[in-house]
Chains A and B, each alone.
Chain A
Amino acid sequence: MNAPNKSGWKPEMTLAEDGMHSGPATTTGNRALMLEEPLLFEIGRADVTGVDLPAVDANAPTRLGGLARSEAIGLVGLTEPETVRHYTRLSRQNYGIDLGFFPLGSCTMKHNPRLNEKVARLPGFADIHPLAPQNSVQGALEVVAQLGEWLCKLTGMPGVAMSPKAGAHGELCGILAIRAAHEARGDAREVVLVPESAHGTNPATAAFANYRVEDIPATPEGRVDVAALKARLGPDVAAVMITNPNTCGLFEKDFREIADAVHAAGGYVYCDGANFNAIVGKVRPGDLGVDAMHINLHKTFSTPHGGGGPGSGPVVFSEALAPFAPLPFVRQDAEGTFYLVEEENREERGPSFGRMTAFHGQMGMFTRALTYMLSHGADGLKQVAEDAVLNANYILRSMEDILHAPFAASGPCMHEALFGDKDFTGGLSTLDVAKGLIDEGYHPMTVYFPLVVHGAMLVEPTETESKAAIDQFITAFRAVVERALAGDEELKQAPYYAPRRRLDETQAARKPVLSWQKPDD
């Protein structure tokens, strides 16, 4: 009995079914502080409003020139407390990094330090406008310039584009610069090579930039097959996109050899720097022969993501590609004044391929990332990489005796540990383990990616978790895996204790219900 849910969806879990809290069902469907929440359309009424607006004279002349709406659009009205409670209740059903361990591999869900937040909220950074006169925002421009400089130093690359707004946007930026560089010498190359161990966005980026994508296989050790890659190089290959460390959680040891071969064939090397957090302060990608690499500030440099804040994906460039970077550039004149190089500045813009965003980038993320860098210092950033790698290896070695770890023999992993579902019995799958972890109070790891491992489970603890937190996770993870190995039928029904039981993902994908339909009264 769940009175408030007019749309027909109901909590499937009654108190009586829930072994943890046995007791009679409640009238509302609520379970004390776990509150059911209908849709806004089901709460609101047309005649309610949260703001007091002056009455409109229906006969007053309008300037809409006949474009005025002729009928109601059916939006509901809500009071302010209804609105606040709606979103607060939904947020309580959510799981985030501030609530617990979030081992989502390849996503680097790490703690967002509160100092970052404090600095980002300083009025001189938070309350400015991108069109403000440049002499009034010198401090903000200095932050952009200084962050860019540190990104160049950490990567050993001479050029940087600060404007891309996410990792994949950064990839596109890098590939467009590669295209511009080839086109500038009249070289119309058509192919981008992407190894199987690369991020899934890489082939999408290359295709979006109008390149033909060709796969390069991985070796049984989970690294790029160098011989296959070299064999494919030729005058039609514009670039190779390599994720390093790769999605198998391994460092591409032969990167320098690959880069030299690509350069010798006239191509460029794009490195997906999403996993830079594993090597920051340890390896400078410029030394490996990288020509362009994006850096996810929201991963390596701890700015919020996963719905918590906009992404930011600055791109660093080699000498060869730097002139083609997108506008604007932040520069400093002889008097020390910072200024932006835009389209009008024909002298300084050079062969830049244009621009990717209206303005300069994600200012709020720049302040946070620079705060993170400066508060850690060079020694601290090095330790970030060391701890991220140590934590992942601790999980790898704590699980490999019971869980298939296909690349455990390839040596230490980097910042993430990869497992497979090889030994599960009774029809149990990776998905069941993921759902079982929800019951244990954890956000599941990344599942079914990378594709090179059957039933992949990619676990990334990040450097921000304590040994105690990781030990607790390992205990829970082992317990769930043991159930999958033993063919525990009950695990197929997990989660039991989440606000919703297991969702029908197949139906949701085949027949998605994407809009609210007004019920027939």
Chain B
Amino acid sequence: MRYFTDEHEWIDVAGDVATVGITDYAQGQLGDIVFVELPAVGTTVEKGKDAAVVESVKAASDVYAPIDGEVTETNGALEDDPALVNTAPEGEGWFFKMTIADAGQLEGLMDEAAYKDFVASL
């Protein structure tokens, strides 16, 4: 099941692990991504707080954790090839995997249809 935040992150939940990235809309707004700063494995992240930084030719932007949890794995491929965020934002361009501290927090997020409507309203 995939959820979305109003800050344009997506979170994919499979069992007790979640994968986080930024949406296609977000990468389109940022333009060519030139650098991604990922959290260290083991970092505790908090819903709505900075978890990663994404830098494009236009600006550097924070990526927020969609829920509370601990980072268990990061996408090393982004170090060599940050363009993956542009070409496959919702696939190979994922940022990090994390534990789910409180599954209840997922309730407040958008599903795909709701996010589509949200983007259309911007």
A interface, CB within 8 angstroms of B: 448-449, 451, 505-506, 509-510
The closest CB in chain B to the CB of A512 belongs to: B34
Which 10 A-B pairs rank lowest in CB-CB distance, beginning with the nearest?
A509-B34, A506-B32, A448-B58, A505-B57, A510-B34, A506-B57, A451-B59, A448-B59, A509-B57, A506-B34
* B30-60 at interface with A (beta carbon < 8 Å): 32, 34-35, 55, 57-59
> Which residues on the A side are within 8 Å of B83 (C-beta)?
510
The closest CB in chain B to the CB of A455 belongs to: B58
> Which residues on the B side are within 8 Å of A448 (C-beta)?
58-59
Tell yes or no: B21 within 8 A of A by CB: no
Judged by DSSP, the binding face of B is loop
Min CB distance, B118 to chain A, in Å? 16
Tell yes or no: B93 within 8 A of A by CB: no
What are 6 A-B contacts with C-beta separation under 8 Å? Answer: A448-B58, A506-B32, A506-B34, A506-B57, A509-B32, A509-B35
The one of B58, B59, B82 that contacts A510, using a Cβ cutoff of 8 Å = B82
> Which residues on the B side are within 8 Å of A510 (C-beta)?
34-35, 82-83
The closest CB in chain B to the CB of A505 belongs to: B57
Q: Bound state CA distance, A451 and B62, in angstroms? A: 13
Judged by DSSP, the binding face of A is helix
A-B contacts besides A448-B59, A449-B59, 11 pairs, CB < 8 Å: A451-B59, A505-B57, A506-B32, A506-B57, A509-B32, A509-B34, A509-B55, A509-B57, A510-B34, A510-B82, A510-B83
> Which residues on the A side are within 8 Å of B55 (C-beta)?
509
Q: Bound state CA distance, A448 and B55, in angstroms? A: 13
> Which residues on the A side are within 8 Å of B32 (C-beta)?
505-506, 509
Q: Bound state CA distance, A509 and B82, in angstroms? A: 11
> Which residues on the B side are within 8 Å of A509 (C-beta)?
32, 34-35, 55, 57
Q: Bound state CA distance, A513 and B25, in angstroms? A: 31
Q: Bound state CA distance, A444 and B57, in angstroms? A: 16
Q: Bound state CA distance, A510 and B82, in angstroms? A: 8
The closest CB in chain A to the CB of B62 belongs to: A215
> Which residues on the A side are within 8 Å of B57 (C-beta)?
505-506, 509
Q: Bound state CA distance, A506 and B57, in angstroms? A: 6
* B1-51 at interface with A (beta carbon < 8 Å): 32, 34-35
The closest CB in chain B to the CB of A509 belongs to: B34
Q: Bound state CA distance, A400 and B57, in angstroms? A: 27
Q: Bound state CA distance, A279 and B59, in angstroms? A: 29
> Which residues on the A side are within 8 Å of B82 (C-beta)?
510
Q: Bound state CA distance, A449 and B59, in angstroms? A: 8
Min CB distance, B70 to chain A, in Å? 20
The closest CB in chain B to the CB of A449 belongs to: B59
> Which residues on the B side are within 8 Å of A506 (C-beta)?
32, 34, 57
The closest CB in chain A to the CB of B58 belongs to: A448
Q: Bound state CA distance, A112 and B109, in angstroms? A: 54
> Which residues on the B side are within 8 Å of A505 (C-beta)?
32, 57
Q: Bound state CA distance, A236 and B58, in angstroms? A: 33
Q: Bound state CA distance, A38 and B35, in angstroms? A: 30
Min CB distance, A422 to chain B, in Å? 12
Most buried by B among A448, A449, A509: A509
Q: Bound state CA distance, A448 and B60, in angstroms? A: 11
Min CB distance, A447 to chain B, in Å? 8
Min CB distance, A220 to chain B, in Å? 14
Q: Bound state CA distance, A468 and B35, in angstroms? A: 43
The closest CB in chain A to the CB of B35 belongs to: A509
The closest CB in chain A to the CB of B55 belongs to: A509
> Which residues on the A side are within 8 Å of B59 (C-beta)?
448-449, 451
> Which residues on the B side are within 8 Å of A451 (C-beta)?
59
Q: Bound state CA distance, A448 and B30, in angstroms? A: 10
Q: Bound state CA distance, A327 and B57, in angstroms? A: 40
> Which residues on the B side are within 8 Å of A449 (C-beta)?
59
Q: Bound state CA distance, A451 and B30, in angstroms? A: 11
Q: Bound state CA distance, A451 and B82, in angstroms? A: 22
Min CB distance, B60 to chain A, in Å? 9
* B76-93 at interface with A (beta carbon < 8 Å): 82-83
Q: Bound state CA distance, A448 and B56, in angstroms? A: 11
Min CB distance, B31 to chain A, in Å? 8
Min CB distance, B17 to chain A, in Å? 29
The closest CB in chain B to the CB of A510 belongs to: B34
The closest CB in chain B to the CB of A451 belongs to: B59
Q: Bound state CA distance, A448 and B29, in angstroms? A: 11
Min CB distance, B68 to chain A, in Å? 18
Interface 1/0 per residue, B101-116 and A, CB below 8 Å? 0000000000000000
